[in-house]
Amino acid sequence: MKIGFIGLGIMGESMCANIVKKHNDTVYCSDHKQSKIDELSALGAVGCKTNTEVAKNADVIISMVPTSDDVRNLYDELMPYIDETKICIDMGTIDPSVSVEVANKVKAKGAQFADCPVVKSKPAAIDGTLGILVGCDEELFPVIKPILSYMGSTIIYMGGNGKGLAMKICQNTLLGQIQNGVNETLLLAKKMGISTENYAAAVECGGAKCFYVELQHEKLENEDWTTAFSLENMNKDLGICLRLSEEQNFKMPGVEYVKTIYDKGMENGLGKEDFRATYKIVRGDYD
């Protein structure tokens, strides 16, 4: 079974690398940056000049591109090469409604489609320990699970098309709200003379124990904004959440507030920094 991978960004390059290392058949890849293709080719992938070249050659087409429009445009480009012999797996985080729209077009050609967004960030992509949330026809899940296992250690079937993405948006939205709570309480603790190290130790031993604090407190203290997951991508996901809440006629005032912080980060040029850079917004650096 030949695999194609389209989109070698921060996450995609490492995800594709793990497939190349673990799969015992050909892996094709493409990206808009030739340097990324060259890096994967050095590992053993077959670099392609176009996305359609990937689609022509691969039995399983995996895409990892940033936005809903990117996914729409990509699959419109690939559609002439999609037939009943193909399985398509999109692993980006986009609007569930757009993913379902694309899934219906793909399935109308006789092919199969799954939305498989990932959780965790760059280190897990490198280690092959991502969490992967799957939305597809139930009978497709056991077929694609071995492929997803090249990239992730926890793979959860969430339901039909769009359900993997719906859960990913809930996951990231919860993370954004946790992050804001950490930003506010950490900054208050520091104003009261409590060190970041003691704050983290105290959180660790109580009911507020939090993976975000464990993972990020040293980077917050060192003001390290090196990007593993960008502020602009989290801002995008919060926007998707608010559209979902509107569709479901369900108010989420906490999310609405956190979104204003991310919007302010975007307005002040922080979009390419890591999403923890919202700390600077809460601290008042841009008032």
Per-residue pLDDT of the chain (287 residues; tens, 9 = 90+): 999 999 999 999 999 999 999 999 999 999 999 999 999 999 999 999 999 999 999 999 999 999 999 999 999 999 999 999 999 999 999 999 999 999 999 999 999 999 999 999 889 999 999 999 999 999 999 999 999 999 999 999 999 999 999 999 999 999 999 999 999 999 999 999 999 999 999 999 999 999 999 999 999 999 999 998 899 999 999 999 999 999 999 999 999 999 999 999 999 999 999 999 999 999 999 99
Type of residue found at 27:
V
216 vs 179: CA distance, rounded Å = 10
124 vs 78: CA distance, rounded Å = 29
Residue 150, token pair as written in the block: 């090249």
Q: What are the distances in angstroms from CA 191 to CA 4, 166, 185, 186, 203?
A: 52, 38, 10, 9, 17
Strands 118-119, 130-135: pairing kind: antiparallel
- pTM reported for the whole predicted model: 0.93
Type of residue found at 287:
D
195 vs 200: CA distance, rounded Å = 9
